Amino acid sequence: MNEIRIAKPLALVALLLGACSCESSTSVADGGALDPPCNGHEELCERRFDDLAIPMTHNAMSNAEAGWSIPNQRFGITRQLDDGIRGLMLDTYDEDGELLLCHVLCGLGSQPLVEGLGEIRRFLEDNPRELVAIIFENYITHAQTADAIDEAGLIDFAYAHEVDAPWPTLGELIDAGTRLIVFQEKLPQSVEFPWLMNIWDHAGETDFSFAAPEDFDCDPNRGDPANPLFLLNHFLTTAVGGDPGLAEMVNFNPLFIDRARQCEEERSALPNFIAVDFYDTGDVFAVVDALNGL
């Protein structure tokens, strides 16, 4: 006669949990369901957007992976987002009627604008608890940008924020489905497209033209320092583009975190956008986590 085996209780529980397609995870330690994360961390869900630090790539479209000359990043937009970047600085141009992402000279490298934006849409669709911010250095019109956002399938993700209104929490933005924050530099806040916001109505920044680490300071540049958002430009510049050797000089702690903390103290404001070249070099994610208290 065959022996009948009874599954041990813990093994049975494990089997049932493995077969369950539950939306929220459970913790044996607390005995209950955990809240879903926001940008990878449950602790960030209750943070207002202006009390949140996110890693941002300077000239995000300019990357060695796609063969750009003198790039600012090694990898393209999709890889950046997959690696944890949540802010993208993108330059937009109209070259003979074609809307492109490029930097100063489109002959050094370019990508169709809608194609680049499509990478962001796919990421947001695949990652429903993640939020992304864009700052456009725009050399195209409101309507051109809006049409590209719409064509790329991003329009329903875009959040419209009124100047001087309190920022919602990250969890509120994610739960509402408005997980794309779109800023631009060159045109005023749009009435027709309220989600297409002028960055300097909402943020202040540091300078962005430092030649050596000892040149770094926290002095105000564009935007009112009293604005609720703060852009920390933490990269060294050359006349024509990026330089991995310069990133090696400034992307590591303690210099990086010390400067971020210094600027936080001097400006009495959390650096919200931590903009870097060659984000995969150094301690950018560790600095962002430290600023967020993670």
Using the structure block, give the residue that is written with the tokens 């703060």: 230
Using the structure block, give the residue that is written with the tokens 């971020």: 260
Q: Report which residue type is found at 208.
A: F
Q: How many CA atoms lie within 13 A of 235 on its CB side?
A: 27
Whether residue 27 lies inside any domain: the answer is no
Whether residue 77 lies inside any domain: the answer is yes
Whether residue 11 lies inside any domain: the answer is no
How many domains is the chain built from?
Answer: 1
Whether residue 263 lies inside any domain: the answer is yes
Whether residue 134 lies inside any domain: the answer is yes
Per-residue tokens: 137: 């250095």
Q: Of all helices (H) and strands (E), which one includes residue 264?
A: helix 255-267
**Residue 117: CATH number of its domain:** 3.20.20.190
The pLDDT value given to residue 34: 66
Whether residue 25 lies inside any domain: the answer is no
Q: What is the pLDDT along the chain (294 residues), one digit of tens a residue?
A: 433 333 334 343 333 334 333 333 333 344 445 679 999 999 999 999 999 999 999 999 999 999 999 999 999 999 999 999 999 999 999 999 999 999 989 999 999 999 999 999 999 999 999 999 999 999 999 999 999 999 999 999 999 999 999 999 999 999 999 999 999 999 998 899 999 999 999 999 999 999 999 999 999 999 999 999 999 999 998 877 789 999 999 999 999 999 999 999 999 999 999 999 999 999 999 999 999 999
Distance, CA of 191 to CA of 174 (rounded, Å): 24
The pLDDT value given to residue 33: 53
Whether residue 6 lies inside any domain: the answer is no
**Burial of residue 186, with CB atoms counted within 10 A of its CB: 0-12 exposed, 13-18 middle, 19 or more buried:** middle
Whether residue 209 lies inside any domain: the answer is yes
254: domain range?
Answer: 48-291
